[in-house]
Structure 1
Amino acid sequence: MVEKYSIRTDLALEEKERFEEENVEVQGVVLEEEYDEEREIRTTTVKIKTENGAKTMGKPVGTYITMEAPNLAVPDEGYHREVSVKIAECVEKLLEGKWKKTGTNEDLSILMVGLGNREVTPDALGPHVADNLNITRHIVREYGKYAMGEDEVTLVSALVPGVMAQTGMETAEIVRGVVEETKPDVILVVDALAARNSKRLNRTIQIADTGISPGSGVGNHRNAITEDSIGIPVIAIGVPTVVDAATIVNDAMENLMKEMEHSEALKGVGVVLQGYHAAEKYELVRQLISPHLNGMFVTPKDIDDTVKRISFTISEGLNLLFSRNEERGEMTGQAHNHEEKGI
């Protein structure tokens, strides 16, 4: 029954929740949860281990780490620093085993790809992260790694390929060409996502080792950027910045049903609607608003400030990850000190 209904979301966590709502157990999919009460950060890891699980979930086999931080949209520097530290930890977990080239003494080379359209604010997350990233590849190649004051360095380069309407080229084609020329070890892709639940807008970060399909969240399916298509590991970082109109109407209908429980006249209608599964209600809403609103996506009014803030938080996490271990320890300590002082 569930397979008939498609809920538009880029978050593996929401796909898993959809099956839990239907009381359907997905074979080959493991869910692990961790909650940091002190920082109010919930980290959920969805591991899709089999092809059967991947087919059911509609996601490739791999690991999807989802960080839910309700205060991520709030301009609190101390809190965002804590989130940056957590981002560094999660990306490092997916990078394990890739820090050094096997059998060589060369340092890890990272290509960060900022996907999206800089001219469209909800889609400008990737380019903004690239703007704030500490780029080191050219310095190391020109002056050597000791110019960075370190024995071991990570060569970081960045690319903002734009969108197909601006370049006339598939993003995957541009990335593949740069990879062939510069030969990085790992690609880090940052992109804006779409969510099913409006409560997750700008409050959730997904980190996955399966790559990404640019534009898939809003129905613009482009060539995927994955290890299979590019030839090297691809780690994707994304934040949901939009939801489609059906989600907004669906949330309103959920609130209406709750109110109906207290109304004698409308109680019968509420009972009928409550008999629908979540996916069925969502599909009903899409049919009701089609075709005029079906292609509409919604984003918060303060998206300009929010995207800049979150992009800086992500770039700080990556800068922290690729810096010296001592510096990372200092950063972690500073984050704790800020929290203790209430900054």
Structure 2
Amino acid sequence: MFQVRTDLALETKEKFEEDNVELKGVRIHEEERGENIKITEVIIETENGAKSMGKPRGSYITIEAQEMTDGDDGYHREISEELAKVLRGMIPVNREELSVLVVGLGNREITPDALGPRVADNMMITRHVIREFGKYALGAEHSNLISSIVPGVMAQTGMESLEIIRGVIRETEPDCIVAVDALAARSVKRLNRTIQITNTGINPGSGVGNHRHGLNRESVGIPVIAIGVPTVVDAATIVNDAISGYYEEVDCTLNSFFVTPKDIDESIKRLSFTISEGLNLAFEKTACTNS
């Protein structure tokens, strides 16, 4: 049987609704914010809900903006501000000075998979400055220690991303991780127009069905917040949607093909700035709390 592939909890929930299947242990909350920005939170509360959804228990928040691919800097600033608000509310550590490791997952040589590395490139890194010159070096009474790493992919390093990240954690002892990666969507209308933030961590490579060891609290011992943007759609998903009225299932060989928009280069460049700006805004505050 053909399975629709998506990394978005929102789309998984929608699929159950389309099939008129009651899903217990899962709550959803929607609200409009700003101009043409919609925020939806899917909360998986029980193990039965997690099993049905095929995702760990936790909170999955999506920021949808149909104009996210446009070049309006003011609009992107609004999205960055909303992302910052979500992040501040999701960070489970309450300290005046927070140490955060930003992990840019993906392969910078492949444009649809380069979101994580590009975000890390655009981050305002502070850990080395504060360690060298003290907490007042940035002109604030309290400053968060921000560091980043781009672990690459196994084909480039011969190592699992998790192995590299664990080594960095042992040496730098961050309070939490924010991991950024490209995802896969079910609907083409959500490509490069949706940001998912979750407190459940992430499986590097999951967007293209290349599942690696999970990067989550259980595997690294500290909280992991994952940020993802769907940049590809499984080709089989598109074909299945197009011919669903005529055939029951699609040739499974299509599952090895992925489709991405033709303007993906510009979209990744713009989205990486939007997400990094949201991260910078979230961590520029004197304290990060989950209030």
Task: Tell me the TM-score normalised to structure 1 length.
Answer: 0.81
> In 1, Cα distance between the equivalents of 2:100 and 2:94?
10
Hey, what does 1:84 align to over in structure 2? 80
SS at match of 2:225: strand
Structure 1 residue identity aligned to 2:93: K
1:93-242 equivalences under 5 Å are 93-95=89-91, 97-100=92-95, 107-242=97-232
Superposition deviation, residue 252 in structure 1: 2.9
Q: Which whole-Å CA distance do the structure 1 matches of 2:241 and 2:264 have between them?
A: 20
2:269 is equivalent to residue 308 of structure 1:
yes
Within 1, Cα distance between the matches of 2:55 and 2:250? 22
- Distance in 2 between the 1:189 and 1:135 partners? 15
Closer/same/farther in 2, CA of residues 69 and 32 from structure 1, 3 Å limit: same
RMSD of aligned Cα (Å): 1.6
Find the residue that maps to 2:3 and give its secondary structure: coil
1:294 to 255, 262, 267: 255
Whether the 8 Å CA contact 2:44–2:59 is kept in 1: the answer is: yes
Indicate conservation of the 8 Å contact 1:204/1:239, yes or no. Answer: yes
The residue that corresponds to 2:68 in the other structure is 72
**Separation in 2 of the partners of 1:67 and 1:250?**
26
Q: Which amino acid aligns with 1:98?
A: V
| Corresponding letter in the other structure for 1:41 | I
TM-score (structure 2 length as normaliser): 0.95
- Does the 8 A contact of 1:150 with 1:324 survive in 2? no
Distance 1:320 1:175 in 2: 24
**Which residue number corresponds to residue 278 of structure 1?**
none
Which residue of structure 1 lines up, in the alignment, with residue 238 of structure 2? 248
In structure 2, the residue corresponding to 1:286 is in which secondary structure? coil
Q: Identity of paired residues, percent?
A: 62
Residues paired across the two proteins, number: 287
Aligned-partner residue type, residue 249 of structure 1: V
Paired residues of 1:48 and 1:54 also in contact (CA < 8 A): yes
Letter in 2 for 1:94: M
Q: Aligned AA for 2:141? A: D
Matched residue SS, 2:250: helix
How far has the Cα of 1:246 moved from its partner?
Answer: 1.3
Q: Tell me, which stretches of 5 or more residues in structure 1 are unaligned?
A: 101-105, 255-269, 274-280, 326-343
- What's the counterpart of residue 265 of structure 1? none
**CA displacement at 1:183 relative to structure 2:** 0.3
Residue number among 18, 34, 52 corresponding to 2:15 in the alignment: 18
Deviation at residue 206 of structure 1 after TM alignment: 0.1
**Aligned partners of 1:198 and 1:247 also within 8 Å:** no
Which aligned runs of 4 or more in structure 1 are off by greater than 2 angstroms? 250-254, 284-287
Looking at structure 1, the residues matched to 135 and 269 of structure 2 have their Cα atoms a distance apart, in angstroms, of 31
Contact 1:115 1:191 (C-alpha < 8 Å) held by counterparts: yes
Which is worse superposed, 144-153 or 109-118? 144-153
Q: Could you report, residue by residue, the CA deviation over 1:212-235 in whole angstroms, capped at 9, with x for unpaired residues?
A: 001112111100000000000000
* Aligned counterpart, 2:53: 57
Task: Give the Å deviation of 1:285.
Answer: 4.0
Instruction: Choose between structure 1 and 2: higher helix proportion.
Output: 1
What's the offset of the Cα at 1:107?
1.4
Q: Can you give the 5+ residue segments of structure 2 that lack an aligned partner in the other structure?
A: 287-291
Q: Which amino acid aligns with 2:87?
A: V
Q: Structure 2: how far apart are the matches of 1:107 and 1:72?
A: 32
Q: Which has the higher contact order (CA 8 A, sep 6+)?
A: 2
Kept in 1, the 8 Å contact 2:4–2:237? The answer is no
Q: Is the 8 A contact 1:286 1:294 kept in 2?
A: no
Q: Is the 8 A contact 2:2 2:250 kept in 1?
A: no
Q: Give the Cα separation in 1 of the matches to 2:211 and 2:170.
A: 24
Deviation string, structure 1 residues 11-64 (Cα, Å, up to 9, x no partner): 00011011111111111111011113x411111100001111101100000000
AA in 1 matched with 2:11: E
